[in-house]
Amino acid sequence: MPEPKQYLNFIAGQFVASSRTFENRAPADDRLLGQVHEAGAAEVDAAVAAARGAMAGEWGRMTVARRVELLHAVADEIDRRFDDFLAAEIADTGKPASVASHIDIPRGAANFKVFADVVKNVPSESFEMATPDGGKALNYAVRKPVGVIAVICPWNLPLLLMTWKVGPALACGNAVVVKPSEETPATATLLGEVMNKVGIPAGVYNVVHGFGPGSAGELLTRHPGVDAITFTGETRTGEAIMQAAAKGVRPVSLELGGKNAAIVFADCDFDKAVTGVTRSVFENCGQVCLGTERVYVERPIFERFVQALKARAESLKIGPPEEKGVALGPLISHEHRAKVLSYYEKARAEGATVVTGGGTPRMPGALAEGAWIQPTIWTGLPESSAVIREEIFGPCCHIAPFDSEDEVIALANDTPYGLATSIWTENLGRAHRMAGAVDVGICWVNAWFLRDLRTPFGGSKASGIGREGGVHSLEFYTELRNVCIKF
């Protein structure tokens, strides 16, 4: 068993201890992974000052070409240390190594290359105009970095979602202070080593550890030295962060919760739809913001679909990250499991038919201490049920029948959230009609979680503010300045 680690803050290129620590435990078996050094006001001040210092120094003057080169080097170094990142991520999250090695780590590295290339190639606009005195003026737009960006991250895809923000922020020439989730401190810390190794100047990338309210998260988002805040997490936390950002009128980018619907028409390719919905409900043990918790199935195939999804759910192998063939890891923590299980209880109390699951699995040996849970499917609940209205963030869904396009559009849109949906149909006209009618930021047809990083990503309604991805990230991470020259 490896020695417990010390997860230090990373400030101005140095690993910095603090006087308060808290435990980091593995969700698979509750073993102690190490002690996390919680940043207080002094550490957060130092990190913000380091970032401001970097903007005023070599980093602020660096050519785009050199920045691009360095960010490619960051991605290459993550790839070189792939096994370290993989081990850190699966220890913190308990997710299957097969998933983390295909999604979390490679996409985490790719985020640096993708955004470096966007910045290298992005054009800017210019307009020539006539002036009243018979002369002319030329307007042209230039993009400048915003300054110091606070990056507040969740625990479900720690490296991937952190670099999804740090990549474009640095590509645009900003400096960052990252606050990883208290549940998953490891990969953000490891990235500090990578930054030093490849020669990213000190202070460009900083990490402060801790919690939200009354801790590093709140200290950072309220810090007057922060110019903009980008956040991924729960909608309620997004509201608190938006309030913090109001002081000083600082911009926010918010990627928040969802209560996403999958809509399955009788004219779908049945096997494709069952496979797709199995993934969208159960991937990452249901802890994906884009995941499905409400499934609507057209009545003629309703019973057959429920039985097919049940069979798939029951065939998912539950187990520890390294075990072969494992599809389902634990939830992130016992605390989160208690929340998800409270919805399993509510479903029962509200009269749901439990098609499968509904409890916790019996796990062998040390795994018995982990935050394991059964994949669960319900039918028969009214749309007013808490289980259908509130984000659960677990491996579970409710399946309801529908009879017409209009009915299912109304059902899908009857939620405060508007993040993602997936529609399963082989009818092209219907696919276009439905895609236009469901109020979400991201709509898939016959797919789920298929991401081209150049496309806009974000939620509507209570699922967020702003779009990131490709050139859209530039809207947040740069200040667009117009220069008007009269001649």
**CB 238, min distance to ligand NAD, A:** 7
**CB 42, min distance to ligand NAD, A:** 18
With binding defined as CB under 6 A, does residue 343 bind ligand NAD? Answer: no
How many residues bind ligand NAD (CB under 6 A)? The answer is 32
Q: What are φ and ψ of residue 193, in 5° steps?
A: -60, -40
With binding defined as CB under 6 A, does residue 371 bind ligand NAD? Answer: no
With binding defined as CB under 6 A, does residue 217 bind ligand NAD? Answer: yes
Quick one: 429 exposed, middle or buried, by C-beta within 10 A (0-12, 13-18, 19+)? Answer: exposed
Which secondary structure element, helix H or strand E, spans residue 354, and what is its range?
A: strand 353-356
**CB 229, min distance to ligand NAD, A:** 9
Pick out residues in 273-332 that bind ligand NAD (CB under 6 A).
289
Which secondary structure element, helix H or strand E, spans residue 464, and what is its range?
A: strand 464-465
Q: Is 443 a catalytic residue?
A: no
Instruction: Please identify which residue in 35, 111, 187, 221 interacts with ligand NAD, judged by CB under 6 A.
Output: 221
**From residue 232 to residue 271, what is the string marking binding to ligand NAD with x (rule CB under 6 A)?**
xxx--x--xx-------------xxxx-------------
Asked if 370 and 327 touch (Cβ cutoff 8 Å), the reply is: no
Q: Among the options 255, 293, 298, 468, which is catalytic?
A: 255
Cα–Cα nearest to 119, from 174, 179, 171? 171
Asked if 169 and 55 touch (Cβ cutoff 8 Å), the reply is: no
Output 53 or 258, the one with its CB closest to ligand NAD.
258
The SS3 call for residue 446 is: coil
Output 228 or 241, the one with its CB closest to ligand NAD.
241
Instruction: Please identify which residue in 145, 203, 358, 464 interacts with ligand NAD, judged by CB under 6 A.
Output: 464
Distance between CA atoms of residues 317 and 460, nearest Å: 35
Asked if 230 and 252 touch (Cβ cutoff 8 Å), the reply is: yes
With binding defined as CB under 6 A, does residue 182 bind ligand NAD? Answer: yes
Asked if 481 and 141 touch (Cβ cutoff 8 Å), the reply is: yes
Distance between CA atoms of residues 277 and 262, nearest Å: 7
Asked if 463 and 419 touch (Cβ cutoff 8 Å), the reply is: yes
**From residue 141 to residue 160, what is the string marking binding to ligand NAD with x (rule CB under 6 A)?**
-----------xxxxx----
Q: Is 58 a catalytic residue?
A: no
Pick out residues in 14-33 that bind ligand NAD (CB under 6 A).
none
The SS3 call for residue 261 is: strand
Residues that bind ligand NAD (CB under 6 A): 152-156, 161, 179, 181-182, 211-213, 217-218, 221, 232-234, 237, 240-241, 255-258, 289, 391, 393, 419, 459, 463-464
Active site (catalytic) residues = 255, 289
